[in-house]
């Protein structure tokens, strides 16, 4: 059972490392999504098995990954939602908020790149 | 919301590991399902996170027990509906006051998402109970 668990952690870690590499090479909403998904899966595995497998440094790195990428994801999702739901008569009011969200998205993406480049999953 | 610790001392097989993890995560989901009564965003958010944890566990262990895959797909749909409601809650907090019509649209869509999620949960209650009873 421990062998199975270790193998799972190793595989999930490898998936995250690959996703991070792709994101740093080509930052985009899609590559960011892959980083976030793979980090959540690894986090879930580490939390589920924490009673018998202790990987505190890896768990911290995975949590840091989520924290570093939350703002970019949030800005992108909220901006896309606003573009879709804005009432035609209120487009002028939405324009400033949309500009802010696009700017936040760009900045957050750059910050995510910088922060993720420094995270170690070893 | 911190996840409940899964008691794993004495576990020797991957199947038993699956039972303990899924049982604990299903219990969390069941406990937080009261969120549908008040439909408050913080409670619904916690319930969504618990569903996410259960879903990942179901996906992981479906390699050992393929019957778990259907439940994991159902929980993914439930989680998606709650995620859509959550995104609307976030946008509603930053929407300028002059955008009343958009606000009403978002509130309506949010309600539709929560109602859909509540219906999915009703359908999932029994399978979740079975997971809790380790019937797999």
Residue B38 lies in a domain: yes
Query: How deeply is A38 buried, as exposed, middle or buried, from its count of CB atoms within 10 A (0-12, 13-18, 19+)?
Result: buried
Q: How far is CA B50 from the centre of its chain?
A: 5
Looking at the partner chain, which of A1, A51, A94 has a beta carbon nearest the beta carbon of B9?
A: A51
* Residue B133: both structure tokens together: 């009873």
State mean pLDDT over A37-50: 96
What CATH number has the domain bearing residue A53?
1.40.20.10
Q: Which domain holds residue A27?
A: 2-118
Sign of the torsion angle spanned by Cα atoms A47, A31, A76, A86: negative
Looking at the partner chain, which of A51, A78, A87 has a beta carbon nearest the beta carbon of B8?
A: A51
Q: Which of residues 59-78 of B touch A (CB under 8 A)?
A: 59-60
Please tell me if residue B10 touches chain A, with a CB cutoff of 8 Å: no
What is the per-residue pLDDT across B88-102, written as a single tens digit (0 to 9) for each?
999 999 999 999 999
Q: Which domain holds residue B30?
A: 14-132
Assembly ipTM = 0.88
* Residue A27: both structure tokens together: 């930052």
Task: Please give the pLDDT value at position A69.
Answer: 97
| Contact (CB<8Å) B8/A52 | yes
Q: How many domains does chain B have?
A: 1
Percent of chain A predicted with pLDDT > 70:
100
Residue B43 lies in a domain: yes
| Contact (CB<8Å) A1/B57 | no
CA dist B3 and A105 (Å) reads 30
Confidence of residue B128 (pLDDT cuts 50, 70, 90): confident
Task: Please give the pLDDT value at position A63.
Answer: 97
Confidence of residue A13 (pLDDT cuts 50, 70, 90): very high
Per the prediction, chain A carries an average pLDDT of 95
Say whether pLDDT at B84 is over 90.
Answer: yes
CA A66-A72-A77 angle, 5° bins:
105
Find chain A residues with C-beta within 8 A of B13's C-beta: 1
Say whether pLDDT at A25 is over 60.
Answer: yes
Task: Please give the pLDDT value at position B134.
Answer: 59
Residue B1 lies in a domain: no
Closest chain A C-alpha to B16 CA, distance in angstroms = 9
Interface test with B, best of A48, A81, A87, A92 (most B CBs within 10 A): A48
State mean pLDDT over B76-93: 96
Say whether pLDDT at B125 is over 90.
Answer: no
Percent of chain B predicted with pLDDT > 90:
79
**Residues sharing a CB contact under 8 Å with residue A21, sequence separation 6 or more, in sequence order:** none
Task: Please give the pLDDT value at position A53.
Answer: 92
Q: Which of A54-58, B53-57, B131-135 is predicted least confidently? A: B131-135
More confident residue, A2 or B132: A2
State mean pLDDT over A59-88: 96
């Amino acid at each position: 059972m421990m062998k199975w668990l270790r193998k799972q952690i190793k595989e999930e870690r490898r998936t995250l490392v690959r996703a991070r590499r792709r994101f740093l090479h080509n930052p985009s909403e899609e590559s960011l999504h892959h980083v976030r998904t793979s980090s959540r899966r690894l986090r879930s595995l580490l939390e589920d098995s924490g009673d018998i497998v202790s990987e505190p440094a890896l768990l911290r790195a995975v949590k840091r990954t989520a924290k570093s990428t939350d703002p970019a994801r949030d800005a992108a999702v909220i901006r896309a939602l606003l573009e879709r739901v804005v009432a035609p008569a209120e487009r002028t009011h939405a324009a400033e908020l949309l500009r802010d969200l696009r700017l936040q998205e760009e900045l957050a993406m750059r910050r995510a790149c910088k922060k993720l480049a420094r995270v170690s999953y070893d | 919301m911190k996840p409940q610790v899964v008691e794993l001392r004495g576990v020797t097989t991957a199947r038993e590991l699956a039972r303990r993890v899924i049982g604990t995560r299903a219990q969390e989901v069941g406990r937080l399902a009261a969120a549908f009564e008040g439909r408050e965003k913080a409670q619904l958010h916690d319930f969504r996170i618990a569903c996410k944890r259960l879903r990942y566990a179901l996906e992981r262990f479906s390699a050992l027990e393929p019957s778990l895959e259907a439940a994991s797909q159902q929980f993914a749909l439930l989680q998606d509906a709650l995620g859509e409601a959550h995104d609307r809650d976030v946008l509603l907090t930053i929407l300028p006051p002059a955008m009343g019509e958009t606000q009403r649209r978002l509130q309506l869509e949010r309600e539709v998402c929560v109602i859909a999620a509540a219906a999915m949960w009703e359908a999932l209650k029994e399978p979740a109970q079975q997971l809790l009873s380790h019937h797999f």
